[in-house]
Amino acid sequence: MSVTQVPGACPLDCPDGCSWQVTVRDGEAVALRGTPDHPYTRGTLCVKVNQFLEHTRAPDRLLHPLRRVGRKGEGRFERISWDSALEEVARRLSETIERHGGEAIWPYQGTGTLGFLQGLQGRAGSRLWNVLGASRHDMTICSIAGLAGLRYTLGTSTGIDPESLEYSRLILLWGSNPLTTHHHLWKVIQRARRDGAHVVVVDPVRSRTAAQADEHLAPLPGTDAALALGLLNVVLAEGAEDRAYLENHTVGWEAFRERVLEFGPARTARETGLAEEEIVRLGRRIARTRPTAVRVSQGIQRHAGGGTALRTLACLPAVTGDWQRPGGGLLYSTDGYFGGNREALHRDDLLDRPVRTLSMTRLAEGLLEVDDPPVEALVVYGANPVASSPDQNRIRRGLAREDLFTVVMDHFPTDTADYADIVLPATMQPEHLDVHDGYGHLYVTWNEPAVAPPGECLSTTETFRRLARAMDLKEPALYAGDEELAGELLDSRHPSLAGITVDALRERGWARLSYPDPKEFAPYADGFPTPSGKLEFVSETARADGHDALAGYVPAAEPGDGELARAYPFVLISVANHFFLNTVFGNRPALRRRAGGPSVVLHPKDAAAAGITAGDRVLIGNVRGEFEAAAVVDEVVRPGVAMTAKGHWPKLTGGHGPNATVEERDADMGGGAVFHDNRVRITPLPPRGDDSSED
Ligand SMILES: Nc1nc2c(c(=O)[nH]1)N[C@H]1C(S)=C(S)[C@@H](COP(=O)(O)OP(=O)(O)OC[C@H]3O[C@@H](n4cnc5c(=O)[nH]c(N)nc54)[C@H](O)[C@@H]3O)O[C@H]1N2
Ligand SMILES: Nc1nc2c(c(=O)[nH]1)N[C@H]1C(S)=C(S)[C@@H](COP(=O)(O)OP(=O)(O)OC[C@H]3O[C@@H](n4cnc5c(=O)[nH]c(N)nc54)[C@H](O)[C@@H]3O)O[C@H]1N2
Ligand code: SF4
Ligand SMILES: [Mo]
């Protein structure tokens, strides 16, 4: 009997990017655990990923290529061989290119795995798409508005080292729910608390994290930039601005100061729906506590003003001078720390002319309205847009187009796969090679294949190599093997990779990137990568891009007053589900049981006004669409807000989810999605009759 420990990485779209070890006995994966000596993973995974091995063996796993035999959306398929699947895909893509050129192909890649080889970070498949001249796919679904906003202020979207939060004295968890979405950060925060740090959550919902914090402020969704300006107003009133820092390290302070002075406590209270006392109390605490760290994650930027929110929040630690202190500053993403050679993977030099870019969150528009050329072939991998992208009903209409050729590569028969002409079975993480960084830490992780793939599953890299061969493409870069690709990625002179060799990484499974110890690390103490080299309250780049040159506040597109709000009294926010990761695990029976069915949480006052009692079946809807859920009545949401969770599979929960109500509309920056800038009405439904045939 042979037993080995194989190092790997959690592939999911989660900031914690855990390092894991698979125990393999006689060729079978028998146990999975977080790597004990990894300083961030610290031996634990999470409630979801503890079930990962069971998930790889689930009875509904896709094991063979399939061809559609039913209507689009019906989900009826026949098993076919890889050869005939690849022949058909190759033929249809070639015909599309002949008719309309490569841009009629849309490679629709999602967040299913973040790996540099198999997934998003390396834009897996980009070499093939470049050779074919396919449309570019812009990943707008998750964090882009915030990334774009930060770049105006900081010149980068890369924030402080999460491990440096251990040295913060005040931690603002702003629109961030780590106990559900990245719980390893919470351990760092607990260490800071043991040293006396105070933790404040800013969230319209009393999340799991807010319930554990020292203080919780619940502003109206989409008003965070106003709150940041209001808090800075108090800091100024206390005379606590760091004049030397502002003088030496920032641009545009005089103008920004004027703007801050417009947001006195009374106005800020009106905008945010908070009490003046709450704002003043927190403002004073910020004024007297060094260092203060702001942790913002993605939830807060799914609004019309989401980019501006991050842009303005990043100004807060400049006024207090905290950017120069370890444990001070702002953390949104750590993506930029890993200096691997991404360009070598992407190979954008293979593209022989510029191509158009299509936005991930505008799939319905892309399929129903885009012309010149129309999208004729859609290749979906690592994504489940029927469940996850905005405007579900129009997406279904687009995917139902008879003249559209759709390929879906996935592990499971998702709602999206049901619309495919060809379904290709993909390997899961213990079955393929990959390399990962993290967007919430400073480590690089190696994922060694631990077991053979089940059935006929193939990795993304191998699928695209075989497709290139089936299309008779000559470019040698299309046939690079996985180890070669990993070597190209890590072959970089970037100082972050100093001392990190492929062999050592492969042996141990992980390495901390070459940066100072978190206790001493203030990445922007000496300046910022902006055009001026300073933090920019006023940004000429922003002005050139058509935004206000000065950081400020952009309110919601569907605000809380006016006619729209009378017809649709609730702002619907659809937060991360504790038991799923986006839609991954949404079909896992044990986790579905723990998650319960779709629900919507309302404040008791709102529920009473709408004639809704706890447990009622309700319809949540607007002009775009509607979905059903069970009502929960609880003070965890503030009045005016309704909360539901993302991740349920529509086909397992009545056919529609929250994205049936979400408009396909861009945030102020980057083309980000606006999942929470979404007003709805909520009405009770009659209880299901006993003769209901639904189950
Ligand atoms: N368990 C689990 N973990 C996950 C995921 C998951 O689906 N499940 N998803 C992963 C992914 S893809 C991502 S992007 C991250 C997201 O990580 P987070 O951003 O932490 O998660 P969200 O639940 O989207 O949003 C966090 C909080 O923002 C609040 N919020 C919404 N609108 C506003 C606002 O306008 N202002 C403020 N202040 N708060 C607001 C919500 O109430 C929510 O509690 O998590 C990752 N981790
Ligand atoms: N209402 C609402 N909607 C949201 C959000 C929200 O907060 N509210 N959050 C948004 C956010 S933050 C995100 S990131 C998006 C996520 O949206 P998507 O990127 O579409 O992610 P998922 O829906 O989880 O679908 C991922 C799919 O990839 C598959 N997959 C996983 N690994 C692999 C692999 O190695 N190969 C292949 N071929 N497939 C694989 C999984 O089985 C799954 O079906 O959802 C967004 N949608
Ligand atoms: S989902 Fe996040 S917390 Fe869970 S194992 Fe993966 S990286 Fe770690
Ligand atoms: Mo995300």
Convert the pLDDT of each residue in 309-343 to its tens digit: 999 999 999 999 999 999 999 999 999 999 999 99
Instruction: Please check whether residue 318 is in contact with residue 252, taking contact to mean a CB–CB distance below 8 angstroms.
Output: no
Per-residue model confidence (pLDDT) at position 234 = 99
Which contacts of 67-72 are long-range, i.e. CB under 8 A and separated by 24 or more positions?
67/421, 67/422, 67/423, 68/420, 68/421, 68/422, 68/423, 72/399, 72/400, 72/401, 72/402, 72/406, 72/418, 72/419
Q: Is the predicted pLDDT of residue 170 greater than 60, yes or no?
A: yes
What does pTM read for this prediction? 0.97
Confidence tier at 560 by pLDDT (50, 70, 90): confident
- Assign residue 123 a region: left if phi > 0, alpha if psi is -120 to 50, beta otherwise? left
Q: What percent of the chain lies above the pLDDT cut of 90?
A: 98
Per-residue model confidence (pLDDT) at position 691 = 44
Per-residue model confidence (pLDDT) at position 510 = 98
Distance 339 CA to ligand 1 centre (A): 27
Q: Which of 200, 203, 439, 649 to mutate to test the pocket of ligand 1 (most atoms within 8 A of CB)?
A: 203
Distance 492 CA to ligand 1 centre (A): 33
66-68 vs 77-79, strand pairing mode: antiparallel
Compute and round to an integer the Cα radius of gyration of the chain. Answer: 25
- Which residue minimizes the CA distance to atom 45 of ligand 1? 181
Mean predicted confidence (pLDDT) in 494-518: 96
Query: Does ligand 2 lie within 6 Å of residue 412's CB atom?
Result: yes
Mean predicted confidence (pLDDT) in 601-615: 97
Per-residue model confidence (pLDDT) at position 566 = 92
Which-ligand-closest: CA of 304? Answer: 1
Name the DSSP class of 693.
Answer: -
Mean pLDDT of the chain: 97
Class of domain 3-56: mainly beta
Q: Is the predicted pLDDT of residue 148 greater than 60, yes or no?
A: yes
Q: What percent of the chain lies above the pLDDT cut of 70?
A: 99
Query: Does ligand 3 lie within 6 Å of residue 49's CB atom?
Result: yes
Per-residue model confidence (pLDDT) at position 694 = 41
Distance 495 CA to ligand 2 centre (A): 32
Per-residue model confidence (pLDDT) at position 47 = 98
Name the DSSP class of 336.
Answer: G
Confidence tier at 448 by pLDDT (50, 70, 90): very high
CA dist 22 → 33, 44, 57, 351, 434 (Å): 7, 13, 15, 39, 14
| Ranges in the chain annotated CATH 2.40.40.20 | 563-684
Nearest to 166 by CA among 512, 467, 520: 520
Distance 59 CA to ligand 4 centre (A): 27
| Ranges in the chain annotated CATH 3.40.228.10 | 145-332+524-544
Distance 5 CA to ligand 3 centre (A): 19
Distance 182 CA to ligand 3 centre (A): 7
Mean predicted confidence (pLDDT) in 210-237: 98
- Which residue minimizes the CA distance to atom 8 of ligand 3? 18
| Ranges in the chain annotated CATH 2.20.25.90 | 3-56
CATH of 563-684, picked from 2.40.40.20, 3.40.50.2000, 3.90.45.10, 2.60.40.1890, is 2.40.40.20
Which-ligand-closest: CA of 384? Answer: 2
Please give the Cα distance from 345 to 482 (Å, whole number): 11
Mean predicted confidence (pLDDT) in 106-135: 98
Mean predicted confidence (pLDDT) in 51-79: 98
Query: Does ligand 2 lie within 6 Å of residue 383's CB atom?
Result: yes
Which-ligand-closest: CA of 390? Answer: 2
Per-residue model confidence (pLDDT) at position 201 = 98
Mean predicted confidence (pLDDT) in 259-266: 98
Query: Does ligand 3 lie within 6 Å of residue 358's CB atom?
Result: no
Q: Side by side, which strands form the sheet with 510-512?
A: 434-436, 443-447, 510-512
Q: Which of 16, 53, 121, 585 to mutate to test the pocket of ligand 3 (most atoms within 8 A of CB)?
A: 16
Class of domain 145-332+524-544: alpha beta
Per-residue model confidence (pLDDT) at position 411 = 98
CATH architecture classification, 66-138+339-434+449-479: 3-Layer(aba) Sandwich (3.40)
Helix, strand, coil proportions of the chain in percent (round to 5)?
35, 20, 45
Per-residue model confidence (pLDDT) at position 546 = 98
Instruction: Please check whether residue 275 is in contact with residue 268, taking contact to mean a CB–CB distance below 8 angstroms.
Output: no
To the nearest 10°, the Cα dihedral for 549, 176, 631, 416?
A: 80
Query: Does ligand 2 lie within 6 Å of residue 574's CB atom?
Result: yes
Q: Over the stretch 450-462, which tens digit does the pLDDT of each residue have? A: 999 999 999 999 9
Q: Is the predicted pLDDT of residue 399 greater than 90, yes or no?
A: yes
Mean predicted confidence (pLDDT) in 411-438: 98
Per-residue model confidence (pLDDT) at position 324 = 98
Per-residue model confidence (pLDDT) at position 689 = 61
Mean predicted confidence (pLDDT) in 96-112: 98
Query: Quick check: helix, strand or coil at residue 599?
Result: strand
Per-residue model confidence (pLDDT) at position 693 = 42
Please give the Cα distance from 649 to 642 (Å, whole number): 20
Which-ligand-closest: CA of 117? Answer: 2
